[in-house]
Amino acid sequence: MVRSQKIIGASRVFICDEGFCILKDGGVLYESLDYAQSGDLQSAKILAVGDYENLTRTYPNAQKEFWHNGVLLPTLVNAHIHFEFSNNATNFVYGDFGQWLDSVIAKRDDVLSDITKSVSQAIDSQLRSGVGLVGAISSYGYDMEALRKSALRVVYFCEAMGSNPSAIDTLFSNFKARLYQSMEYKNTRFIPAVALHSPYSLHHIYAKYVLQEAKKLQTPISAHFLESQHEQEWLCHGSGYFYNFFAHTFGVPNPKPFYTIQSFLEQFVGMEHVLLTHCLFADKNVLEIMRENAYNIVTCPRSNRLLNNTYLPLEINTKTMPQAHTLLNIALGTDGKSSNADVNILEEMRFMLFAYPHIELNVLATQILQMATRNGAKALGIQGGILEHGYNADMVVFEIPDIEHSCQEALQCILHVKEAKRMIINGREII
Ligand code: MCF
Ligand code: FE
pLDDT tens digit string along 192-206?
999 999 999 999 999
Can you state the angle between helices 409-416 and 361-370, rounded to 10 degrees? Answer: 70
Q: Cβ < 6 Å from ligand 1: which residues?
A: 82, 85, 104-105, 137, 139, 159, 197, 201, 224, 227, 303, 335-336, 338-339
Atom index in ligand 1 nearest the CA of residue 80 equals 1
Identify the pLDDT of residue 3. 84
The pLDDT value recorded for residue 317 is: 87
pLDDT tens-place string over residues 295-333: 999 999 999 999 999 999 999 987 655 555 689 999 999
Instruction: Specify the 3-state DSSP secondary structure of 378.
Output: helix
Residues in contact with 407: Cβ distance below 8 Å, sequence separation at least 6, in sequence order? none
Q: Give the pLDDT of residue 294.
A: 97
Do 230 and 240 meet the contact criterion of CB atoms below 8 Å apart?
yes
pTM for the complete prediction? 0.98
Q: What pLDDT is recorded for position 324?
A: 53
- Tell me the C-alpha distance between 240 and 378, whole Å: 36
Contacts by 63-66, CB closer than 8 A, 24 or more apart: 63/4, 63/5, 63/6, 63/7, 63/32, 64/6, 64/7, 64/8, 64/9, 64/27, 65/6, 65/7, 65/8, 65/9, 65/422, 66/8, 66/9, 66/10, 66/27
Task: Please state which of the ranges 226-230, 244-248, 321-325, 363-367 shows the lowest mean pLDDT.
Answer: 321-325
DSSP assignment of 137-171 equals EESSSTTHHHHHHSSSEEEEEEEE-B--GGGHHHH
pLDDT of residue 319: 60
**Atom of ligand 1 minimally distant from the CA of 159:** 14
Quickly state the pLDDT bin for 41 (edges 50, 70, 90). confident
Residue closest by Cα to atom 21 of ligand 1:
105
Measured in angstroms, how far is the CA atom of residue 392 from the centroid of ligand 1?
A: 31
> pLDDT tens digit string along 63-120?
999 999 999 999 999 999 999 999 999 999 999 999 999 999 999 999 999 999 999 9
Q: pLDDT tens, 42-55?
A: 899 999 999 999 99
pLDDT on residue 198:
98
Query: How far does residue 105's CA lie from ligand 1's centre (Å)?
Result: 10
- Among residues 345, 354, 281, the alpha carbon closest in space to that of 316 is found at 281
Query: Is the confidence at residue 7, as pLDDT, over 90?
Result: yes
